[in-house]
Amino acid sequence: MRFEKAAESWFGKAAADWKESTLAKYRALLRKHLLPAFGGMEAEGIGTGDVRDFAERELSGFSISARRFALSTLSRILQFSLPAELFRALEFPKGGKVRKGKADSLLPGELAALIRTLEGNKNPKRENTAHVLLLIAFTGMRLGEACALRLSDFDFVRNTVRIHATLERLPVENGGTADGAKGKARTALRLLPAKTASGEREIPIPEKLLARLKEMAAENPPEAPLTTRDPRTLQNHFKKFLKAAGISKDAHIHTLRHTFATHSLSAGADLKTLSATLGHASTHTTLDLYVHPTFESKRRLQEAFRLFIAHPEKWGRQGDDADWGEGFGKGRPFG
């Protein structure tokens, strides 16, 4: 069986329950990389050397996560189409370990400076962007979720906002036109449902934004979008606000979500509540992706350990047979 036919059969079976964004991601990988490289080959004739050549030739400039995704997809197609003994004989290059939570959050002083800059914005062309960025900063919602909001999603009796969709830029099949641009475009903006059940949620509206949001709701029809800005435009405006705030860090709008999660937990937020606010199905996702120790939390840890050594009597039993783990971390005996 030719690889092209094997990929078509695998895709038809695997894609049954995929969301549109997932479908577009796999289609783009197959069309741009896997089919040009292997499409005309017999699946049983693909060997370890072919896979390694493909990885070196096509994937050398990929990010680690994209490289792993491409190799994993190739592996799944071949496993689907090859006899077990042939598939086991193949060796796939290591895609590299993905470093979770790689992006830095803004420091408290940086976040405060950015918020002051957003609140003090006098440029009418960036007024809408400023309000969207403030909403993201104070709620931790994703950029796509904010761009998908309609004014009808805001409840000014309960002072909450309902998140149930996302606006994503997806590859365009066959290079069609998109977004009203002239000529051919590779991507188009699509309004999609929330990626998971936990992504659909209701969260409080920050008090600082209530007045302006109520004004917008009074001046526009309920189905008017919160913003008409393209996500790329919002990202460009965000860079300008960073510069105006005196922040040189290479940050993106998603950094605001990262910052919200990290500093909320540092400030004593309940992990389960934070996870639900972010739209995560598991608290492990919150910890793995967004929450990392700050320098001050590391300093507090060292100070707590120093006090533990200096005052062991506060921890109960002493001596060589003492259970040094008992009670450790179960309270705050040092103030």
Q: For all residues of the chain together, what is the average pLDDT? A: 82
H or E stretch at 203: strand 201-204
pTM of the model as a whole: 0.64
204 Cβ neighbours under 8 A, 6+ residues apart: 139, 159, 160
Residue 250 is classified by DSSP as: -
pLDDT tier at 95 (50, 70, 90 boundaries)? low
pLDDT tier at 327 (50, 70, 90 boundaries)? very low
pLDDT tier at 178 (50, 70, 90 boundaries)? very low
Instruction: Concatenate the DSSP letters of all residues of 129-198 into one string.
Output: HHHHHHHHHHH---HHHHHH-BGGGEETTTTEEEE-EEEEEEEPGGG---TT-SS--SEEEEEEE-SSGG
Burial of residue 312 (CB within 10 Å: 0-12, 13-18, 19+) is middle
pLDDT in tens, 116-156: 999 999 999 999 999 999 999 999 999 999 999 999 999 99
Looking at the predicted structure, is the pLDDT value of residue 101 above 50? no
pLDDT (0 to 100) of residue 152: 96
pLDDT (0 to 100) of residue 174: 58
pLDDT (0 to 100) of residue 52: 82
pLDDT tier at 316 (50, 70, 90 boundaries)? low
Apex CA 139: angle with CA 293 and CA 109, to 5°? 50
Span of 186-190, 218-222, 279-283 with lowest mean pLDDT: 186-190
Measure the CA–CA gap between 100 and 290, rounded to whole angstroms. 8
Amino acid letter, residue 273: T
pLDDT (0 to 100) of residue 330: 40
Percent helix, strand and coil across the chain, each to the nearest 5: 55, 10, 35
Mean pLDDT in residue range 21-29: 89
Looking at the predicted structure, is the pLDDT value of residue 183 above 80? no
pLDDT tier at 333 (50, 70, 90 boundaries)? very low
Looking at the predicted structure, is the pLDDT value of residue 181 above 60? no
For a pLDDT cut of 90, what percent of the chain falls above it? 45
Mean pLDDT in residue range 64-93: 88
Looking at the predicted structure, is the pLDDT value of residue 319 above 60? no
pLDDT (0 to 100) of residue 305: 75
Looking at the predicted structure, is the pLDDT value of residue 186 above 50? yes
pLDDT (0 to 100) of residue 87: 87
For a pLDDT cut of 70, what percent of the chain falls above it? 82
pLDDT (0 to 100) of residue 18: 84
pLDDT (0 to 100) of residue 270: 87
Mean pLDDT in residue range 60-76: 87
pLDDT tier at 237 (50, 70, 90 boundaries)? very high
pLDDT in tens, 273-309: 999 999 988 888 787 776 666 666 667 777 777 777 7
User: Please, what are the domains in the chain?
Assistant: 3-89 (1.10.150), 108-289 (1.10.443.10)
Mean pLDDT in residue range 244-258: 92
Measure the CA–CA gap between 291 and 286, rounded to whole angstroms. 6
pLDDT (0 to 100) of residue 291: 64
Torsion sign, CA atoms 326, 329, 331, 335: positive
